[in-house]
Amino acid sequence: MTKQFTATAIMLLVEQGKLSLSDTIDKFFPDVPADKKNITIHHLLTNSSGLPSEIHYYGYGWVISNPAEEFTSVWHDGSNSYSFATFHFYPDIDLFILTASNDRDNYPYPLMTEMRKSMQHMVAINSAEHCCVG
């Protein structure tokens, strides 16, 4: 269910004018390599970023303590699986990065905080938490 909630939260931020689908990931991760600076929120939402699927993240008991730092290794340690916007591939890494990008200190709208504020009253949820666990 993470994908649905992440996508919904992103689109709520877009609707509120706090985020644009054309925002590039270097807005959230200034140290992203040049070959990945043009990847947009739209590319991440549509699984067309070209970022590789990181299978080692699926081990039993996998917990991320600092997602923003851990996912930067995806673009620093490896090459794209394909050129962004040329192919649709379904890696979880795109949505993990969306979540991490919006939870960074340099972005004023932490994704999960915004999701809670915007969605709890719509679906009668009294509490909601999110963490990356495999």
pTM of the predicted structure, to 2 decimals: 0.60
CA 49, CA 65: separation in Å to the nearest integer?
24
Q: What is the pLDDT of residues 64-103, one digit of tens each?
A: 555 556 556 655 555 554 455 444 445 555 555 665 555 5
Residue 62 lies in a domain: yes
Q: Which two tokens stand for residue 62?
A: 């996998």
Residue 64 lies in a domain: yes
**Summary mean pLDDT of the chain:** 65
Q: Number of structural domains, the chain?
A: 1
Residue 130 lies in a domain: no
Label residue 133 by pLDDT band (50, 70, 90). Answer: very low
Cβ atoms 132, 63 nearer than 8 A: yes
Cβ atoms 115, 8 nearer than 8 A: yes
Residue 45 lies in a domain: yes
CATH code: domain of residue 106: 3.40.710.10
Which is nearest to 114 in space by CA: 3, 11, 1? 11
Residue 31 lies in a domain: yes
Cβ atoms 82, 89 nearer than 8 A: yes
Q: What is the pLDDT of residues 105-128, one digit of tens each?
A: 545 555 556 666 666 656 665 665
